[in-house]
């Protein structure tokens, strides 16, 4: 087996190699290994390699960098090379973190392995492999999503918000795609959706697909650092421990979110208080800490369900 140093090209399985920056220094070695495609995960785009298909994924080797969003694209690139009978090389600067994370994700997706099992397989071939903690967390999330990036899933939406918290400390420039469509801007709502309206003025606020569910906390015991009042005990001990909805940002919230870390969420029509937000996170009444948090109190909204006949709306009471 090749020397598993940063400059070498190490075989992980048939037609799949991992390596560092210097692993492409010898065109003859690439040709001998049957490499027809090179995937580079690095901050800088490398020079083109004649006769070899290439893909550059611009990602820093930092725990807060977003690699998850590119994993399906990477897997498709590697798979296309191998499907044609050739081999693929995945490389990064040192050949120990970013490239290893991508190869691990590929094994997860194509061989049905859990992230730890796939990671162990890569480390068996390359003992110096060491994926940074942030990428390890992203591989766990990739596994939880069934090894497919689903931008509509609550898991992925929460991940995106957490990435934004790291990437936009001043919060002056949020990507448009992070905001869910304002229900008032939708021509028709899917029949499977539940709509939530302001209880005071009936203005549509968000859809059920915007709710980011979380695992229930430990109730009153999670508030031992605070004075446990009767209301706290009630909110933590009833059948519905969570007295708020934690949702993704909706378009009408944008003016309130930019440039500040926390504040109130007011109805855009009647300005009644609906809840609050904090990029640092807030504690749900169930005791679970949610980060970041966009919290709407259940007592301030009504559910409205879509009826299949005539697409009429009826409010639950």
- Residues taking part in catalysis: 92
The answer to whether 62 and 43 have CB atoms below 8 angstroms apart is: no
Six-digit token string for 257: 């979110």
DSSP state of 97: S
Q: How are strands ordered across the β-sheet holding 293-297?
A: 244-246, 293-297, 273-278, 262-266
Output the DSSP codes for 265-285. Answer: EE-TTT--EEEEEETT-EE-T
Long-range Cβ contacts of 166-175 (<8 Å, 24+ apart): 166/64, 167/64, 170/259, 171/257, 171/258, 171/259, 171/260, 171/261, 171/279, 172/258, 172/259, 174/249, 174/254, 174/257, 174/258
Three-state DSSP at 215 gives: coil
The H or E element that residue 313 is part of is strand 313-315
- What letter would DSSP give residue 220? G
Q: Which long-range contacts (CB under 8 A, 24 or more apart) does 83-86 make?
A: 84/36, 85/34, 86/15, 86/34, 86/35, 86/36, 86/37
Tokens 């906390």 identify what position? 217
Q: 12 phi and psi, to 5 degrees?
A: -100, -45
Does residue 109 have a cis peptide bond before it, meaning omega lies within 30 degrees of 0? no
The phi, psi pair for 215, rounded to 5°, reads: -70, 135
């Amino acid at each position: 087996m090749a020397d598993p140093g940063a400059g070498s090209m190490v075989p992980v399985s048939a037609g799949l190699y991992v390596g560092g920056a210097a692993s492409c220094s010898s065109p003859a070695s690439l040709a001998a290994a049957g490499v027809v495609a090179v995937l580079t995960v690095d901050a800088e785009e490398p020079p083109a390699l004649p006769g070899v298909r290439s893909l550059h994924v611009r990602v820093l080797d930092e725990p807060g960098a977003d690699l998850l969003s590119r994993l399906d694209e990477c897997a498709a690139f590697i798979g296309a090379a191998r499907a044609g009978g050739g081999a693929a090389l995945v490389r990064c600067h040192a050949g120990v973190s970013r490239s290893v994370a991508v190869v691990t994700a590929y094994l997860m997706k194509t061989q049905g392995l859990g992230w730890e099992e796939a990671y162990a397989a890569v480390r068996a071939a390359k003992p110096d492999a060491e994926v940074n903690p942030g990428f390890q967390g992203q591989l766990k999330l990739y596994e939880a999503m069934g090894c497919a990036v689903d931008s509509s899933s609550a898991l992925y939406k929460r991940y995106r918000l957490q990435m934004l918290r790291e990437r936009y400390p001043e919060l002056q420039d949020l990507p448009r795609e992070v905001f869910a469509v304002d229900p008032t801007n939708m021509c028709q709502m899917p029949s499977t959706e539940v709509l939530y309206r302001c209880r005071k003025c009936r203005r549509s606020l968000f859809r059920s697909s915007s709710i980011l569910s979380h695992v229930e906390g430990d109730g009153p015991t999670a508030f031992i650092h605070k004075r446990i009042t009767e209301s706290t005990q009630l909110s933590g001990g009833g059948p519905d421990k969570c007295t708020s909805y934690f949702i993704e940002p909706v378009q009408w919230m944008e003016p309130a979110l930019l440039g500040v870390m926390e504040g109130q969420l007011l109805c855009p029509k009647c300005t009644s208080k609906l809840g609050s937000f904090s990029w640092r996170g807030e504690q749900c009444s169930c005791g679970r800490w949610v980060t970041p948090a966009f919290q709407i109190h259940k007592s301030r909204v009504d559910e409205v369900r879509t009826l299949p006949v005539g697409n009429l709306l009826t409010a639950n009471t």
